[in-house]
Amino acid sequence: MPSPTPRKRKGTNQRTLASKSTGPKCGLCSAITNLTRTECCGQWICDDEDQYVLFSYSLNSCSRNHGRYTVCGFHHSEGHFGHWKECPECPKHIETEMYVYYGTNKYNFDVLVNPPDYGPTRCHSCGAIIVLANGGYSQGSEGYRCGTCTAAEHPGLHR
């Protein structure tokens, strides 16, 4: 009886082998080209800040997102010492709701394991809950105002 023809292992084509590269990859999106290391924590990340369109508020840049929307990036830009998770200064300079968001969002390589508790942020005018990480509010000397109250107070602002 002839020996069976050896079967090709499923999923071992060139594309699969290339995707299992042992080289560096972006720790946020897994891209393997056009990489750099972050200044804050030395992690591999896409070197893509040049793709950001000014004032677009787009979240298409791994590098920009990590630098601007994490406690790690804030900690570095403020020149604090040590690891951001152990920094006594960072929580003093970032509102607790935003500290938790910046420490636990998808732009982190290392997330805050036990984030502090905080109460909801409310509109100074109507009491509606505002989620600071989502935007759509204004801030003044009295506190935060939801988008609806901001628009009512400044009708020409949102044309």
Tens of pLDDT along the chain (159 residues) come to 444 444 444 443 334 344 456 799 999 999 999 999 999 999 999 999 898 898 888 899 999 999 999 999 999 999 999 999 999 999 999 999 999 999 999 999 999 999 999 999 999 999 999 999 999 999 999 999 999 999 998 887 755
Q: Which residue has the tokens 């200064």?
A: 89
Has this prediction a pTM greater than 0.85? no
Q: Computed over its alpha carbons, how large is the radius of gyration of the chain?
A: 23
Provide the b/e sequence for 58-91 (b: ≥16 CB within 10 Å).
Answer: eeebbbbbbbbbbbbbbbbeeebeeebeebeebe
Instruction: State how far the Cα of 108 lies from the Cα of 29, in Å rounded to an integer.
Output: 11
> Residue 84 carries which side chain, given as an amino acid letter?
W
Spatial neighbors of 28 by CB under 8 A, at least 6 apart, are 45, 46, 62, 65, 66, 106, 107, 109
151 exposure class (CB count in 10 Å sphere: 0-12, 13-18, 19+): middle
Output the CA–CA distances (angstroms, integers) from residue 31 to 12, 47, 107, 115, 150, in the order listed: 20, 10, 14, 29, 40
